[in-house]
Chains A and B, each alone.
Chain A
Amino acid sequence: MTGKRLNRGVAVVGAGMSKFGAFPGLSTRDLFVQAFQDMRASVDKGFDPNDIEALYIGNYSSDLFEGQGHTAPFMADWTGLAPRPATRIEDACASSGVAIRQGIIAIASGLYDIVLVGGIEKMTDLPTSQVTDTLATASDMLYEIPAGFTFPGFYAAMATTYMHKFGATPETFMKVGMKNHTNGALNEKAQFGTTIRKVMDGKIAKAEARGYPVPTWEDELEFLHDDRANPVIAWPMRLFDCSPISDGAAALLLVSEELATQFSDTPLYIVGSGQASDVALHDRDDVTGLRAAQLAGKEAYGMAGVTPADIQVAEVHDCFTIAEVIATEDLSFFAPGEGYQAAESGGTARLGSKPINTSGGLKSKGHPVGASGIGQAVEIWKQLRGQAGERQVPGSPTLGLTHNVGGTGQTCVVHIYERR
């Protein structure tokens, strides 16, 4: 498929993020300043922030999470960029993936040459029940939420259908979580910088120290099957299948292709971009894949002129462990029904044939929803530039992909990055 092309190319010349986690007392603007400064430090040849011409900021629901609407101008103000135009992009958990795309479109149009795209979310001020209610507003409040659905519930329902159709088991999903925690343990920006094994050993040590009955888990899987240690949220999704409630921010500096080497020794060229929308989950013919992700992937591959097999490292939207399995099939890394086998056999591990979520994914790195899409791009930036430290994918990868989902796949956006 020959895709549509941009009128001119766009490159990433800087990428940064705050640590993801729970940061009482810090607002989105404080976190965004951290991401902005981290991004500035990543621009190889330095740059004058005054050269930035516009901002696109992904943010899902600062209104409900922190009682603050109209967030984009505050991000411009706190980074010294007012009075430049600053626009908030809201597409649920895909907000900042879509902000990247809006930045690309703005540069490709010729209107701007240098654009700051960002993502922000501050979720931990609210109690869990209110966070659940806030996230629910990204689904159909008229026809899905009255059925009792929650976000873990939607993905859990996809999981039961997937298990029925292809033979996966709840253990399949547990292994995805274990893999992502193993990756996240090597990421200093991750909310949970620890393996499931360490979480388990920590609970055993705590019980011993306090003189409580000591749990007798043989291994991580036995720990993950324990209803008390790993409670069911929405079966078959348990606590360790769900991404956490997080605060965080991330930022990219985008420039037109011809300017890239003025900023960076090793820019990443955005060679593919795709986005699609979809109907509510119950209106779809198939709930074991996300049509919008399949379409966004096709558009991005077509624009880039590459195939799924060419992608060497990918960050996919694992808001729940089932979502990662489905994503690897929607992106055609694996055939439908084979993604779970790859997850079980280690094919998607950091040292596997198709490394997925080397950052730890949303599961371990954290999921400040409006910041997650750009957080993914920050990982690809590091991996393709050989700057991922202990979690670096071997073989000096040159082609990476991000896959960012809003809601139950009512928005999906995919980007492909190339180091030349």
Chain B
Amino acid sequence: MADNDFSNTAFHQYLAEYKLMGAHCEACDTLYLPPRPMCPKCFGDDMNWVELPERGELIAFTTIHIAPTAMIEAGYGRDNPYISGVVRLENGLSISAQILGLDANKPEEIMIGTPVKAEYVERGEDEAKKTFLAFRAE
């Protein structure tokens, strides 16, 4: 169960429960993903957690061949590229995530607007195990 602090730690605790959660400003009725402890629109801090829709569409993407250390450790790299992208959820909020279910070796065939659904990916062993947000093409 996540602490009610709207932090990145709490966001990841929800991901570990396979829940995509954002923050809702009770004062001005605005939703936020990533969650945050203060509303940038009305400067209020009466926030609540809300579960977000898991479906959306791909609005930007790339296939990454030169990977950062963390993704190399997850088995990716020059010979095994992966896709990162920005997904716009059904309610209009957007988030960065790894994109699954499409061929990273055929980027010309990947379409902006592809429908996707949230998927929860576990990386790391034992203590270092962490759940990451990804989206899979439908």
State which of B23-31, B42-50, B81-89 sits at the interface with chain A.
B81-89
Alpha-carbon separation in the docked complex, A129 to B64 (Å): 13
A149/B84 contact (C-beta < 8 A), A143-B34, A282-B95 known:
yes
Closest to B111 in A: A164
Partner of B107, one of A152, A236, A280, A282: A236
Which chain A residues lie closer than 8 Å to B66 at the CB level? 128, 132, 150, 152, 233-234
Mask of A263-305 contacts with B, CB within 8 angstroms, 1/0: 0000000000000000011110001000000000000000000
B62: chain A residues at CB < 8 Å are: 152-153, 156-157, 159-160, 234-237
Binding site secondary structure of chain A: helix
Judged by a CB distance under 8 angstroms, whether B59 is at the interface is yes
Query: Which residue from chain A places its CB closest to the CB of B34 in the assembled complex?
Result: A143
- Which residues 94-138 in B have Cβ within 8 Å of A in the complex? 94-98, 107, 110, 112, 132-133
Please tell me if the beta carbons of A143 and B96 are within 8 angstroms of each other in the complex. Answer: yes
B98 nearest CB neighbor, chain A only: A148
**Counting CB contacts under 8 A, is A30 at the interface?**
no
Report if A148-B84 is in contact (Cβ < 8 Å); known contacts: A157-B61, A234-B65: yes
**Contact between chains at B8 and A142 (CB < 8 Å):** yes
Most buried by B among A148, A159, A164, A231: A148
Find chain B residues with CB under 8 A from A231 CB.
65, 78
Provide the residues of chain A in CB contact with B96, threshold 8 Å.
140, 143-144, 147, 149, 280-282
A231 vs B66: C-alpha distance when bound (angstroms): 10
Interface contacts beyond A132-B69, A161-B59, A233-B66: sample of 7 additional A-B pairs, CB < 8 Å, sorted by A: A140-B96, A143-B8, A144-B96, A161-B60, A235-B65, A236-B107, A282-B86
Closest 9 interchain pairs by CB?
A156-B62, A147-B96, A157-B60, A235-B107, A164-B112, A148-B84, A142-B8, A161-B60, A235-B63
A-binding residues in B (CB < 8 A) = 8, 34, 59-72, 76, 78, 81-82, 84-86, 94-98, 107, 110, 112, 132-133
A-B contact pairs, 21 of them (CB 8 A): A132-B68, A143-B95, A143-B96, A144-B96, A147-B96, A147-B133, A148-B70, A148-B76, A150-B66, A152-B62, A153-B64, A157-B84, A160-B112, A161-B60, A232-B81, A233-B65, A233-B66, A234-B62, A236-B107, A281-B60, A282-B94
